[in-house]
Structure 1
Amino acid sequence: MLNALEVFTTVFVGLMVGVEFSVAFIVNRILGALPEDSGQLGRAHGGRMLGALMPFWYFASLALSAVWAITGWNEPGSGLVVIAAALLIVSVVMSILLLVPINNRSKTWTPENRPADWKEQSARWDRFHYVRVAVIIAAFALLATALS
């Protein structure tokens, strides 16, 4: 049973990493290259879609890692799982304190109502997101290492 939990958790976190990596390095670059207001409208729509899904994904990833750490406490690699769970806590805290407030504003923006500094706010979100992606990649790498 523990082996199934380990594999499921690693895959679950890995998929989350893939989504967040693609947002950071692919989707946002595509949206930024679109003409006129299309990119900003796309980011707002993405903020609504992923803003609804990602909280569940982050908290579920953290919960699965915590269960793995507890149930596999005496197993080899348990320290790596604990560190991975701590990094997932960091990612959740970063999300709540830094990214969600910007996302909650930007997902309502249209070309008619966006603030004058909307590009700066989007760039700030991107910078925070790059750091968060690095944190969850590190957590995933630790989980994958603990699995092996």
Structure 2
Amino acid sequence: MLNALEIVTTVLVGLMVGVEFAVAFVMNPIFSALPDDSNQSARSHGGRMLGAVMPVWYIGSLILVATWAIAGWDHDGAGLVVTSGALLILSVIMSILLLVPINNQGKTWTPENRPADWKQQMNRWDRYHYARVAVIIAAFTLLVTALV
């Protein structure tokens, strides 16, 4: 049973990392190359769509990692799993304090009502997101290492 939990947790966290990596290094650069109205509309739509899904994914991943840490406490790699969980907690805190406030504003913008500094706000969101991606990549790496 522990093996199944380890595999499911690692796959789900890995998929989350892949989505967030793609947002940072594929989707947002594509959006930024579009004309301003299309760029802003794409980011707003992405903020609404992923803003609905990602909280469940982050919290679900954290619950799975915590369950793995508890169930596998006496197994090799438990410290790595606990450290991974701490990094996922950090990523949730970063999300709540830094990224969600910007996203909550940005997802309501249209070309007609966006603020004059919308690009600066999106650039700030991108910088915070790069840091969060680094944190969740480290958490995922620890989970993979704990498996071997």
The answer to whether the superposition gives a TM-score over 0.5 is: yes
Aligned residue pair count: 148
**What do residues 61-109 of structure 1 show as CA deviations (whole Å, max 9, x unaligned)?**
0000000000000000000000000000000000000000000000000
What does 1:58-69 correspond to in 2, within 5 Å? Answer: 58-69=58-69
Q: Aligned AA for 1:5? A: L
Q: Aligned AA for 1:138? A: A
Instruction: Spell out structure 1 runs of 4+ moving beyond 2 A.
Output: none
RMSD: 0.5
Tell me by how many angstroms 1:36 deviates: 3.6
What does 1:1-148 correspond to in 2, within 5 Å? Answer: 1-148=1-148
**Distance in 2 separating the partners of 1:142 and 1:124:** 28
**Distance in 2 separating the partners of 1:6 and 1:64:** 9
- Provide the secondary structure at the position in 2 that maps to 1:37: helix
Tell me by how many angstroms 1:11 deviates: 0.2
Tell me by how many angstroms 1:37 deviates: 0.9
Tell me by how many angstroms 1:35 deviates: 2.1
- Provide the secondary structure at the position in 1 that maps to 2:120: helix
Tell me by how many angstroms 1:38 deviates: 0.3
- Provide the secondary structure at the position in 2 that maps to 1:85: helix
5+ residue gaps in structure 2?
none
**Distance in 2 separating the partners of 1:118 and 1:94:** 21
Tell me by how many angstroms 1:130 deviates: 0.1
**Distance in 2 separating the partners of 1:121 and 1:39:** 13
Q: Aligned AA for 1:125? A: W
Q: Aligned AA for 1:100? A: V
5+ residue gaps in structure 1?
none
